Amino acid sequence: MPCSAIFRTCLIGAVLAWAIRAALIGASAAELAFDLHIERGRVAENMSVIRVKQGDVVRLRWSTDRSIILHLHGYDIERKIEPGSIGVMEFTADVTGRFPVEVHRSSEGGGHSHGDAPLVRIEVYP
Ligand SMILES: [Cu+2]
CA of 115 to the centre of ligand 1 (A): 10
The 10s digit of each residue's pLDDT in 57-113 is 999 999 999 999 999 999 999 999 999 999 999 999 999 999 999 998 765 555 677
Which domains can be identified in the chain, with CATH numbers?
Answer: 30-125 (2.60.40.420)
Pairs from 45-53 (Cβ < 8 Å, separation ≥ 24): 47/120, 48/119, 48/120, 48/121, 49/120, 49/121, 49/123, 50/120, 50/121, 50/122, 50/123, 51/123, 51/125, 52/93, 52/122, 52/123, 52/124, 52/125, 53/28, 53/29, 53/93, 53/124, 53/125, 53/126
28 or 118, higher pLDDT: 118
For the entire predicted model, the pTM comes to 0.75
Q: How far apart, in whole angstroms, are the C-alpha atoms of residue 1 and residue 25? A: 35
| 10: confidence class by pLDDT, cuts 50, 70, 90 | low
pLDDT score recorded for residue 112: 75
Contact yes or no for 37/43 (Cβ under 8 A)? yes
Q: From ligand 1's centre to the CA of 103, what distance in Å?
A: 7
**How many Å lie between the centroid of ligand 1 and the Cα of residue 54?**
22
Predicted local confidence at residue 116, as pLDDT: 72
Report the separation in Å between the CA atom of 32 and the middle of ligand 1, taken as the mean of its atom positions: 23
What mean pLDDT comes out for the span 28-32?
89
Per-residue model confidence (pLDDT) at position 109? 55
Compute, in angstroms, the gap from residue 65 CA to the centroid of ligand 1.
Answer: 20
Q: What's the gap in Å between 126 CA and the centre of ligand 1?
A: 24
- For the cut 80, the answer to whether the pLDDT of residue 1 exceeds it is no
Give the CA distances from residue 4 to residues 7, 9, 18, 66, in Å, rounded to whole numbers and listed in that order: 5, 9, 21, 67
pLDDT at 33 over 80: yes
Q: Calculate how far, in angstroms, residue 84's C-alpha sits from the geometric centre of ligand 1.
A: 23
Kindly indicate the confidence band of residue 117, based on its pLDDT and cuts at 50, 70 and 90: confident
48: CA distance to ligand 1 center in Å? 17
106 or 38, higher pLDDT:
38
29: helix, strand or coil: coil
